[in-house]
Structure 1
Amino acid sequence: MAKVKLSYDQIAEKMVHKYEDVHHGKMMSSPALVYNNKVFAFYYGDSMVFKLGKDYDIRRHGEIKYEPLNPFKNKAPMLAWFVIGYDAVTHWDGLAEAAYKIMKEVFTVDLKV
């Protein structure tokens, strides 16, 4: 579990230093990456979770096993959020970048409307 957290921490630090509009935050008491006060990725158990949108084709990053985020027993899964286990850690960096770009694009479109 320590190496999983270390991998998240390295990606988080890279994103915060690379993009001045990305900050550290929290999601369900876990460390998260935030753009415009909205979480786009976070550390969750032995996984990293990315908000990519329910229609996102995860296969563009290769063959990756994933599950939709399902933190509540009596509610449907959150289909816009992809839980990616440590077995796909080599993809986390690219997925964090993709989630950031999607989040930024959504907010840019909202501001233009």
Structure 2
Amino acid sequence: MPVRLTDYEIKAIKELAKKFFGEDSKVFIFGSRAHLEKRGGDIDIYIETKLSIKEIAKNKIKFLAELDLKIGEQKTDLVVFNPLVMKKELIHKVALEEGIEI
């Protein structure tokens, strides 16, 4: 199922997810960009990883900074989750249920 992002934006997000959160990370787009019929909206990204909480915190900032350089400044919400060490919250559940894996 397609998302409201360009091929270049999708490629950049996937490459940066692998770079900062591991080759085996899973990436989902959720929120308004996961719906072709909606307009506007920020980019909501959900990434599942096996990194530690400390590494996640450090790499979120790097990911967002590099993403801005690659695709231009856009409002981006980034949710990163390690199911092995973190408690699943509502946002994680919503992102997985409504999100589209890229």
Same fold? TM cut 0.5: no
Normalising by structure 2, report the TM-score.
0.29
Larger radius of gyration: 1
More contact order relative to length (CA 8 Å, sep ≥ 6): 2
By percentage of residues, which structure has more strand?
1
